[in-house]
Structure 1
Amino acid sequence: MRFRDRREAGRILAARLRYLRGHEPIVLGLPRGGVVVAREVANSLHAPLDALPVLQIRIPRRPEPVFGAVGEREVVVHNPKAIRAFRVTPGELGRATRSAKIDLACHAALYRQGHHPLRITGRTVVLVDDGITTGATVRAAIRVLRARQAGRIILAVPVAPLAVLRSLSATVDQTVCALPLARLDSVGAWYTDFEPVDDTEALRLLAREPAETFLAQAKRA
């Protein structure tokens, strides 16, 4: 099974989440690709959609591995396995984490554009991404949602490794995955069309016009 694109993946997830109609859930997508999937879920559930800015921690000398993630409310999640495997020093990790926090502030400003985040206290939240590999980004997002006192968290992703899903299931109330795999090296390999999603497209799906000043700041970051 492969997904034609993120929109098809979102419609498949939406079919599995149909039972939430009438329960007034809130759908949150992880920028940028997760917002495309989340838009389809939100449309199907007649639910409000918002973005949940979270950024991966990467190190210039090792641009591919994900060494963790940062989220709003000073949330930081590290990936000890990758840190050990690539012998990342505490100094490198500290610099990369601080850099990610600065970038996150720019991205959060871009996606908020003066809007307050949707109030999720006590509400059912469907957290959506276009796929999971290490789980660091999603783990940071879940911690942000717990800090914001979400009532119930449902993690919904098209594709993810089974071991990571099992680990994440202990931190949420339910996981929904269309394609759980024994091994997953690349999310994009399971899509026919996995073209990058830019901020302008994600903002359009959130029904927000891309403010030029915010876009310029994000590009500089």
Structure 2
Amino acid sequence: MSYIYRDRNDAGRQLATLLTAYANQPQTLVLALPRGGVPVAYEIAHQLQLPLDVFLVRKLGVPGQEELAMGAIASGGIRVLNEDVVEHLHIPGLVIEEATRREQRELERRERLYRANAPPPIFADRTILLVDDGLATGASMRAAIQAIKHQHAAHLAVAVPVAAMPTCFLLQSEVDRLVCAQTPEPFYGVGYWYQDFAQTSDEQVRELLALNRQELREHAT
């Protein structure tokens, strides 16, 4: 098979070349979906000299088929359901509610871990560049988009290295700009197009956020 990207960092560096219009804009924030989106977003923030933060979204996996999303939740109390999956598999409401409670606990744990209890950034009147390592069903990204819209960002762009074409088509009207760098057919899945798709750890997320803050301080002096 032919990989598109060596790893998430390689994907981020390639994706950054499509986003140069955002470079050095003081009101622009690169926002990553943890954990896999963080190495991609770090490289974009590094290349464009922009601040990096995270936006927490948790997929609601179908019981027994956890990779299949029946929906997602995001910071701010937002929940998006994949109605086609829910209806096709006849998933009861009680199952959805239990998954929501479980993932909400994990979302809150990660909020504390990644930010060390620091407040989340303000999105109002800013340009938000929302990044993940790829899009399959898009449930997590849709939840993030809705949550950020509630906070009145001035401009919301979504950028991913690889995505399913139908998902890109569906998201196109929901954001100000959508960059899907590669839309291979057949799609197979996000990880299929990476040579190294090892799981990103919580510690790696914290290290990349700290490294971005350090780089911005050094650049400012």
TM-score of the pair, normalised by structure 2: 0.89
How big is the shift at 1:79?
0.7
Judge conservation of contact 1:162–1:183 (CA < 8 Å) in 2. Answer: no
Work out whether 1:7 is the aligned partner of 2:36: no
> Could you tell me whether the CA contact under 8 Å between 2:29 and 2:50 is conserved in 1?
yes
Question: Structure 2 vs 1, CA of residues 180 and 38 (structure 1 numbering), >3 Å: closer, same or farther?
Answer: same
Secondary structure (helix, strand or coil) at the match of 1:121 reads coil
User: Following superposition of structure 1 onto structure 2, how do residues 129-208 of structure 1 map, counting pairs within 5 Å?
Assistant: 129-207=132-210
Contact kept in structure 2, 1:163 and 1:182, CA below 8 Å: no
Cα distance between partner residues in 2 of 1:146 and 1:94: 24
The Cα of 1:61 is off from its aligned counterpart by 3.0
Question: Which region of structure 1 is more displaced relative to structure 2, 25-34 or 178-187?
Answer: 178-187
1:67 corresponds to 2:73: no
Alignment match, 1:35 = 38
CA distance in 1 between partners of 2:21 and 2:140 (Å): 27
Aligned to 1:217: none
What is the match of residue 218 of structure 1? none
Provide the secondary structure at the position in 1 that maps to 2:17.
helix
Consecutive unaligned residues in structure 1, runs of 5 or more: 209-221
Aligned partners of 2:110, 2:63: CA distance in 1, in Å? 20
Equivalent residue letter for 1:152:
H
Q: Give the partner amino acid of 1:126.
A: L
Q: Aligned residue pairs: how many?
A: 208
Q: Equivalent residues in 2 for 1:116-131 (5 A)?
A: 116-131=119-134
Describe the SS at the equivalent of 1:181: coil
Runs of 4+ in 1 over 4 A off after TM superposition: none
Query: What's the offset of the Cα at 1:88?
Result: 1.0
- AA in 1 matched with 2:83: P
Q: In 2, distance between residues paired with 1:153 and 1:64?
A: 27
1:179-198 Cα deviation digits (max 9, x unpaired): 02344231111011111111
Deviation at 1:7, TM superposition (A): 0.7
The corresponding residue for 1:18 is 20
The DSSP-based 3-state class of the residue aligned with 2:67 is coil
Tell me the distance in 2 between the aligned counterparts of 1:59 and 1:98: 14
Q: What is the rounded CA distance, in whole Å, between the counterparts of 1:153 and 1:172 in structure 2?
A: 6
Please list every run of 5 or more consecutive structure 2 residues that lacks an aligned counterpart in the other structure. 212-221
State the 1:80 CA deviation. Answer: 1.1
Q: How far apart are the structure 2 equivalents of 1:162 and 1:176?
A: 12
Alpha-carbon distance, 1:85 to partner = 2.5
Letter in 1 for 2:146: R
Take 2:206 and 2:25, find their aligned partners in 1: how far apart are those partners?
26
Describe the SS at the equivalent of 2:65: coil
Structure 1 residue 33 displacement after superposition: 1.0
User: Aligned residues: percent identity?
Assistant: 37
Q: Secondary structure of 1:126's match?
A: strand
What is the TM-score of this pair, normalised by structure 1? 0.89
Q: Deviations over 1:176-215 (max 9, x none)?
A: 121023442311110111111110011100018xxxxxxx
